[in-house]
């Protein structure tokens, strides 16, 4: 069964550093998403991406965040200058038709 | 008022029991509804979509009450493997690519 994959599984970084989280969505899916979940809290939407552009973004997704689909398979989330409060689990999701979304295993980001 | 509200639980039930969870949502324009399950420190996994007519998948039955803005999930003949957090999820309207809004989840623990 096809699945979303994410790398790395765990990323530790120093405050102020840039990080890039990588995702490979399911191959025939057209809609891509990033969500985050701070430990003990609910899953929160960050951004959705379709047809090579951002279709929606939340208040969390400020100028420090960017997304890119650099080739036909990868979908990346970049955080330019990490803050302590960026520590969370980051989930990538993809959808064939924009309805049911399937999640990757997540990247745990720890900012020291 | 929270957008998607769930009783956090935990619900402690014996194997074989029937258990029901409810969820309320605040946006009357919400169009798509889902139940996801999340195991500890893992990604949300789609359990089932919820349709206006209600739907059943094996031991799981989901129902939607648009007038009262609530969604339910019924699990029959609980198994130990059903122990997880169940997430109620809505999207704001029927446009493709929409963000998912998650509830905080209801924790279920099935005991032998």
Question: Per-residue pLDDT averaged across B2-16, rounded?
Answer: 94
pLDDT tens string B13-56: 999 999 999 999 998 888 899 999 999 999 999 999 998 888 99
User: How wide is the angle at C-alpha B58 spanned by C-alphas B52 and B59, nearest 5°?
Assistant: 90
Interface probe for B, chosen from A2, A33, A36, A101 (most Cβ of B below 10 Å), is A101
Residues A41-75 pLDDT 10s = 999 999 999 999 999 999 999 999 999 998 878 99
Q: Look at residue B101 in the predicted model and tell me its pLDDT.
A: 94
Distance (Å) from the alpha carbon of A99 to chain B's nearest alpha carbon: 6
pLDDT value for B97: 64
Answer yes or no: do B49 and A50 touch at CB < 8 A: no
* Mean predicted lDDT score pLDDT of chain A: 95
pLDDT digits (tens, 9 = 90+) for B48-85: 999 888 899 999 999 999 999 999 999 999 999 999 99
Cα angle vertex A22, ends A17, A27, to 5°? 165
Q: Of the candidates A55, A56, A50, which has an alpha carbon nearest to the alpha carbon of residue A69?
A: A50
Instruction: Please tell me which residue of chain B has the smallest CA distance to A104.
Output: B43
pLDDT at B1 over 70: no
Rounded Cα distance between A57 and A49, Å, is 9
Chain A segment 58-87 residues within 8 A of B by beta carbon are: 58
Residue B14 dihedral angles phi and psi, to the nearest 5°: -80, 155
Q: Give the three-state DSSP class for B12.
A: strand
């Amino acid at each position: 069964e096809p699945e979303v994959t994410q790398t790395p599984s765990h990323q530790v970084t120093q405050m102020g550093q840039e990080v890039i989280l990588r995702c490979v969505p399911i191959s025939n899916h057209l809609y891509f998403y990033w969500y985050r979940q701070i430990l003990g809290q609910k899953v929160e939407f960050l951004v959705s991406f379709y047809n090579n552009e951002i279709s929606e973004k939340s208040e969390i997704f400020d100028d420090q965040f960017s997304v890119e689909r650099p080739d036909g398979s990868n979908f990346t989330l970049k955080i330019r200058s990490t803050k302590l409060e960026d520590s969370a689990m980051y989930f990538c999701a993809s959808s064939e038709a924009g309805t049911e979304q399937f999640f990757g295993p997540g990247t745990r980001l720890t900012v020291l | 008022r929270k957008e998607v509200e769930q009783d956090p639980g935990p619900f402690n039930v014996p194997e074989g029991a029937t258990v029901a969870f409810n969820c309320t949502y605040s946006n009357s324009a919400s169009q798509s509804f889902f139940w996801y399950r999340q195991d500890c420190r893992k990604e949300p996994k789609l359990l089932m979509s919820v349709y206006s007519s209600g739907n059943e998948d094996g031991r799981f039955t989901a129902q939607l009450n648009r007038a009262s803005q609530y969604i339910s999930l019924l699990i029959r003949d609980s198994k130990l493997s059903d122990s997880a957090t169940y997430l109620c999820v809505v999207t704001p309207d029927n446009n493709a690519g929409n963000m998912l809004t998650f509830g905080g989840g209801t924790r279920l623990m099935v005991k032998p």
